Structures are given as structure tokens and as C-alpha cells.
Structure 1
Amino acid sequence: MSAPDVFAPARLGPVTLRNRTVKAATFEGRTPEGLVTDGLIDYHLAVARGGIGLTTVAYLSVAPEGRTHREVIVVGEHSLGGLTRLTDAIHETGAAVAAQVGHAGPVANGRSNGVKAIAASSMPSPLSMQMVKAATEADLTRVTKAYVAAARTLVRAGFDVLELHMAHSYLISSFLAPGLNRRKDGWAGSLENRARLGRQVARAVRDEVGDEVAVTAKVSLSDGFKGGVTTADGLAFAQLLEQDGTVDALQMSGGSSLMNPMYLFRGGAPVKEFAASMPLPVRLGMRTPVGRSFMKTYPFEEAYFRDKALQFRAGLSLPLMLLGGINRRDTMEQAMADGFDFVAMGRAVLREPDLVNRLQSERVESGVCIHCNRCMPTIYSGTRCPIIDLELAAHRDPLPQI
């Protein structure tokens, strides 16, 4: 059997996408009041008009303490109108739109949010210089109900796909990681116990939305730090989700927003620029032992998660989205040949929003992103490619002489 055409329509649960390309969730930095703005809509319109099959809005929190920082949208009646305006605009382009929905857990900045963060276990936060609280049973019940309420609101807003964030040391991921989950109750210990929250949330959301929308989960191939989710644990967790029948596909990611973000990004590590973009408490936090090891360096290579992802492909029947350094048409075609169902791109389409159209028309073989990661420090001020800014500046007409 021949591999599917990455640029042909494909089914994702109950949704038909115009092709198998996905704009991965990346912070947009365009919601200063925690509400949808024209700038956020334009950000997604650029990649939607550029040919992407599915664009993902990130990151949408289910609760105030689940925001990474105070500018993040909390899903609710107050944000419904703007979210509906966004989905309507995307649908006019022919693209579908996903909502990345979750709870940041220990990755939340409690000082910025004005409410303390929660996690599997208590721990100091280099982000807020506060202690993160261990979630109580009441917290976990409340958060699960908040996922359900958010899911219903997002369906009302017109989203086609709900992506449940279960990676990067966010709340669900903090329960999965034995180094972050030091509890002594039924939410810790065995993989089955550590997986309870993720499975509970996925089941509750699926029961709420049925087949009205597709439900996917972002899961970890490896967290990239000692005590984090390993590839074996990540696969075992994915197999439990498949067994439960609660998700339509999995997007495979890696790294930890709290402990090792560069494991996800690879390439240049703009430490000074990133620190300079952060508020004072965070800059102080980056001087702690955890903070100093925050941005390690990993060389970039095309499709750098492929080998680990192939282990997931061999152990699962679920549709899978390959993520991580996908910039070339031949890489996308290889992903299809490997048995992956979708390819997800982040930096490549941030650099060139029309890359999918250009690859499909065979005008180019690859994108031009150099993976310097200088886009990372812009996530709080409007995520963008600084290289584009430099190129635009270089080509501006000189000021007239007076």
C-alpha cells in the first residue's frame, strides 16, 4: 500500500481536514487582557491562508491558576465571543482550528496570575519564586470539572478539535513524572496511578463532547530530565489512552517547559535574550540551580523526534502526529511512509506562514527557518521571527536626506 499524500484531505475523528499538516500550538503573546484580539486572529489567519490543514490556538486555560501567566485566556463565557470570532475567521479560509486546552500546573506563574500554582507535589517555582502547592482531592475534582466546562464552551465557539495538553510538565504531566510526583496516595507510584488524572480528564471531556469534535492529546516522547516521563512511560500512558478510546489522535512532543524546554526545540539557546524578556522574579529564578540548567543546548536535525516516535508508532494503532523539526517536503513524505498520519510544524510556519502552499505547489523543497530559537523570547510580546524583522529593516528605503 502506498503512503498517503500529505497534501490530500484526511479524517481526524469526526472532522475532515483539507490536508495532513498541523500548525502546532505555540504561545502567541497576543492576548494582553486575556481575551481574543485582532492580532491573535491575524496570527492564525496567516498560516490558515498559507495552506495549513489545522491551526492550533495556544494556550487556553481551564482555570485562573492554570494560566502560565496572567495574559493567557481562561475559557469561559467572558471569552466565548472572541473565540467564536476567531473560529469563524479561520473557517472562511478552509482550514480547521484546534484549541489547545489545559492546566499549566507547576508551569503556571503564580505571582503573575495572582493565585498560587498547583502541581502533583509541592515544589519551589523558579518562575514565581513561590512555592507551588500540592493539589488536593478537591482541586483535582474541580479541575476535571473545569476541563468539561471548557470543552463545552470551546465546542460552542466553533472549534473543530480539542487538544488536551498532557506534556511539558503541565499539571497532568506533573502527575506522570515520578520526579515531580512524590505523593503517597492513589495518584502516585505505579504508572497506572500516575496516569489517573490524564485518563480521568480525557474520559470526562469525551463523555461531554461525544463526536461533536475531535479530541486529541499532546503527550511526551521523553521529558528530557531525570525524574521526568521516559519514553517507556510515555508509550505506556499512550496505550492506556488508546485502550480507553477517549482520543482520536496523539501529538507526540517532548521536553519540559519547567525543567528542559530546549529538549523540545533543539538548535540555538538564546539564554540572555530569553532572560531579558522575563519579569524580574523570573530573571531571579533563572539564577537558581534549576534556572541555570533551564536552557541546555541540543543540536538541531530534521525530524529529531522520529526515532522515539517510531517506537510509539510500533506500539499504537491510534493516528499519530509527528512533531519536531519538520521543514522539508521529503521529511513530510517520509513521515507518511513511516505510518504517521499528520505532521505538525511550529517554527517553520512562524518563519514562513505560507510554507505549506509553497511546498504543495513544489515551488520550494524546504523552509528557511534556521532554528536559532530567537522567536522564543518574543512569546510574551507577540510571538514572531526576529529574523524577518531584521530582513525587513535591511530592505527599508533609507530616510531622505534633509
Structure 2
Amino acid sequence: MSDSKLFTPYKLGPLTLRNRTIRSAAFESMGRDFGPTQQLKDYHVAVARGGVGMTTLAYAAVNRSGLSFNKQLWLRREIVPALRDITDAIHAEGAAAGIQIGHCGNMTHWSTAGCFPVGASTGFNLYSPTFVRGMRRSECAAFAKDFGRAVLTAHDAGFDSVEVHAGHGYLISQFLSPYTNRRRDEFGGSLQNRMRFMRMCLEEVMEAAALTRTAVVVKHNMEDGFKGGIQIDESIEIAREIERLGVDGIVLTSGFVSKAPMAVMRGRIPTKTMSYYMPWSSWPQKIVINLFGNRMIKQYDFEECYFLENAKKFRAALTGTLIYVGGLVSRRGIERVLDSGFELVQMARALVNDPAFVDKLRQGDIDTRSGCDHRDYCMARMYSVDMQCCHNCREEIPARLWRELDKIK
């Protein structure tokens, strides 16, 4: 493996990473009152100490209306000192610090967003569940400026990079996808129109990034994962536009959290475990998930490097930096991705199982593999409690939940 790129530095725009690994922006659910906590700091510092090139704090809303959870970050001036404490500690371990910025759109709630939920189009989101109001033209421009301001705030908080979330069925993705965009104005209809809001946001982001020398990557859906959503041919055109706007890298992903959530993560989510951790204040959803979850949520078998074949189509069509994410749990898998022409790799579940996984890859051989066995317990509890691997909190898990987890393995 002497010719491997894995532990060589990489220049991502203005930022040089010590190696090719990034902790992906999977929601930690470790915030409180829309701000960071000691738990969030401890986790990311552990990942940084474990050898990763960059660790990414997840799911930071660019404004109040973009919040879905109390444990989610709202990137605002008031939390800059607490975030700076985290980034300083990450830097002290030799890693770069990134933060994902976005807006949840029709996945928000009045209780967190502080207003009637907004999205690309008016309607009812069955998966929240909530009624949603389509955004006004003036709001589109204002929200785009919020994305730019978020970059300035991230810079003041010590972050080296921002990841703009334009996938998974959140707000930018809702404008891009014909499934959620039913507008009849200049923001809807043709692909050029559906890209308009994304283009506005990225122009503001790139202007702010140029002022602060902040690296910018965009999380982009290769496909939504169902009929009526974005398909690969159209997605490649979107990716070309993202590249044209001058971003430093594109993270290739797939799936829609409100319709095809396991297309994002793959594996068979333990629905009874998910129901168990949901609060009783959400009792209708709790009961429905417990009784009908396996029918409602399309399940996918886990396969290592599960996005790779689709990602190769984007590698062939694009010239810029592409970041692979999706099912990386072994040295062999990572080398396969790097050998396919991808410059960087992102991981989440392997680093939830073991924050020091990257150092173990460095010290091990080609057969080094994560202890993650894809039971997706971490996903089942993520939005209700926090993101934890079942192997790291075994004593807390009731026996009846272990029975479900053992069936999935």
C-alpha cells in the first residue's frame, strides 16, 4: 500500500487536509437549545484525535426557520464562542474543522422553527407531519443571503470549511426535485428554474468564502431514490452547475429523508428500536412506526461502497474534486474508491463505532475493517436521543431491542 493516496495531504481549495479522510456531516443529535454541548465537543475532538483529516459538525441551520430539532445547531452569533472552543480543540489535534449549513424546509416544525414551516411548495408533509407554506420570492432572496452570512459566522467560529447541504430532501433539494417543487414561477418547472434557488444560495456562499478563505463543498443528490424525483442524467447537469459556480468539492450522495431515508444510509433500520426511543409527546408517530414502520420505510440491504457505481458516472462527467460517501467500513473499500478517481472519502458510522478508526487504518493492513456491523441502531435513536453505536452502549439497551438488532445482523 506504499502507493496509496489515503494518508497523503490534499489541498481542498484554500485548505490543506493532512489526509484524504473526512468525518461526514451525519447528525450527531448532541446539541441543546440549538447550540453546542460538551458532548458534541468531546465527540469531534475524539474523531480529530483519532487521525481524521477533517471532522464536520452536522446540520447547522442558517436561520431559525430551518430548525427541525432542539438538538440541532442554529448558526448564529450567540454560539460563536462555544463553537470556537470546539474548533480550537479540533485544530489542536491536527485536524481541520468543517460545518454543514442548510435549511430543513418542509421537515421543520412550528415548535422549533418558530413559524409556519416553509418549503419549495405549499402542501402537507406526511413524514413530519406538518402543513407547509411555499416560500415567497422575497424569502428566496433573503434565505440565500442567510447562507452567505452563515459562512461568515462559521469563519468567525474558527471553521476551515462549510458543506452546503443541497441533498436528502432538505430545502435546496426541495427546490431541485420535481417531487417537491410544484411552483409555476421562475423557481419551478424547468431544470434551469429549479436550480435558481440553489444558484442564488451558492453565489452568496462563494462571495462570503472568498472574503474569508473558507473551503466550500456541496452535498448533492445523485438521485432522490424514487420515481418522480431527480434521476442521474438530470443530477449530472446540476452537478455541472455546482462545479461552474466554483465550489471546492462535491459530496455525492442519494436519498430523500422524507420518502426514501434508507436510500441515504442503507441497511435495515430497526423500527421497533426507533419507536422505543421516540418521546411520548410524539405518540401518534411512535405507534405508527412501531406497528407499520417496516412497511412505510423501504429497506435496503447494506453493501460496502453502495454509491460507487453511480458515483463513477459523475467522475466521468466532472473535472473537479469529488468526495465519496456511502458504506466505507474497510481499508479495501476506501482504496477501491480512491483508485476509482475520487480525491477524498467521507465516513460516519465507522467513526461512530470507533472515533479512532482512521488511526487504526494507518496502523493496520489492507484487511483492516471497522467494528460497525450495520444494524443501524445509531440511526434508530439518532433523532430522539443521540447518535451512538450499539456496541458502545450495550448495557443500556433492553433485551427486547437486542432481539430485533440480532435479527438484522
TM-score range, shorter chain: over 0.9
Q: Which of 310, 325, 329 in structure 1 is aligned with 2:312? A: 310
How far the C-alpha of 1:235 sits from its partner, in A, is 1.2
Match of 2:225?
Answer: 224
How many Å separate the matches in 2 of 1:325 and 1:234? Answer: 21
1:220 and 1:376 mapped to 2: Cα distance? 20
Shift of 1:387: 2.2
Q: Tell me, yes or no, if the aligned pair for 1:99 and 1:154 is still in contact at 8 Å.
A: yes
Residue 106 (1) aligns with residue 110 (2) = no
Q: Answer yes or no: is the 8 Å Cα contact 2:271–2:294 preserved in 1.
A: no
CA deviation after TM superposition for structure 1 residue 308, in Å: 0.4
Post-superposition offset of 1:221: 1.3
Distance 2:161 2:228 in 1: 31
Match in the other structure for 1:399: none
For 1:232, what is the secondary structure of its paired residue?
A: helix
Q: Structure 1: which 4+ aligned runs deviate by more than 6 Å?
A: 391-394
Structure 1: distance between partners of 2:344 and 2:283: 37
- After the TM superposition, which residues 362-373 of structure 1 pair with which residues of structure 2 at under 5 Å, given as runs? 362=364, 365-373=368-376
Instruction: Tell me the equivalent position of 1:377.
Output: 380
How much does 1:149 deviate?
A: 1.3
What is residue 241 of structure 2 aligned with on the other side? 240
Name the TM-score, length of structure 2 as normaliser: 0.91
Give RMSD over aligned pairs.
2.2
1:112, CA displacement in angstroms? Answer: 4.0
Structure 2 counterpart of 1:197: 197
Q: Shift of residue 330 of structure 1?
A: 1.5
Mapping for residues 293-332 of structure 1, pairs under 5 Å: 294-332=296-334
Q: How does 1:3-402 map to 2 (within 5 A)?
A: 5-210=5-210, 212-245=213-246, 247-279=247-279, 282=282, 284-285=284-285, 287=288, 294-362=296-364, 365-379=368-382, 380-390=384-394
TM-score normalised per structure 1: 0.92
Q: Deviations over 1:150-209 (max 9, x none)?
A: 110101111011100000110000011101101101111111111111111111111122
Secondary structure at the aligned position of 2:314 is classed as helix
Stretches of structure 2 that go unaligned for 5 or more consecutive residues are 399-409
Query: Given that residues 31 and 70 in structure 2 are in contact (C-alpha distance below 8 angstroms), is that contact kept between their aligned partners in structure 1?
Result: no
The one-letter code sitting in structure 2 at the alignment partner of 1:226 is K
Distance 1:223 1:84, change over 3 A: same
CA distance in 1, matches of 2:255, 2:90: 30
Deviation at 1:71, TM superposition (A): 2.8
Aligned equivalents of 2:144 and 2:313: distance in 1?
A: 30
- The one-letter code of the counterpart of 1:10 is Y
Distance 1:266 1:378, change over 3 A: same
Measure, in 2, the Cα distance between the counterparts of 1:345 and 1:197: 29
Quick one: structure 1 residues 375 and 272, their matched pair in 2 at CA, closer, same or farther if it must change by over 3 Å?
same
Q: Is the 8 A contact 1:180 1:227 kept in 2?
A: no
Aligned residues: 391
Structure having the higher helix fraction is 2
Displacement of 1:392:
9.1
Indicate if the aligned counterparts of 1:128 and 1:282 stay in contact, CA closer than 8 A. no
Instruction: Deviation per CA, 1:366-395: give whole Å up to 9, x if none.
Output: 11211110101322322111222117999x
Shift of 1:120: 0.7
Q: Which amino acid aligns with 1:354?
A: A
Aligned equivalents of 1:331 and 1:66: distance in 2? 35
List runs of 5+ in structure 1 lacking aligned partners: 395-402
The Cα shift of 1:7 comes to: 1.1
The alpha-carbon deviation at position 140 of structure 1 amounts to 0.8
Query: Would the aligned equivalents of 2:255 and 2:263 in 1 still touch at CA under 8 Å?
Result: yes
2:67/2:112 contact within 8 Å kept = no
Deviations 1:48-82 (A, max 9, x none): 11111110101110111101223322111111111
User: Compared with structure 1, are the counterparts of its residues 359 and 391 closer, same or farther at alpha carbon in structure 2 (3 Å cutoff)?
Assistant: farther
Question: CA shift at 1:352, angstroms?
Answer: 1.2
User: Quick one: structure 1 residues 392 and 135, their matched pair in 2 at CA, closer, same or farther if it must change by over 3 Å?
Assistant: closer
1:80 and 1:92, CA in 2 relative to 1: closer, same or farther beyond 3 A? Answer: same
Deviation for aligned residue 1:248: 0.3
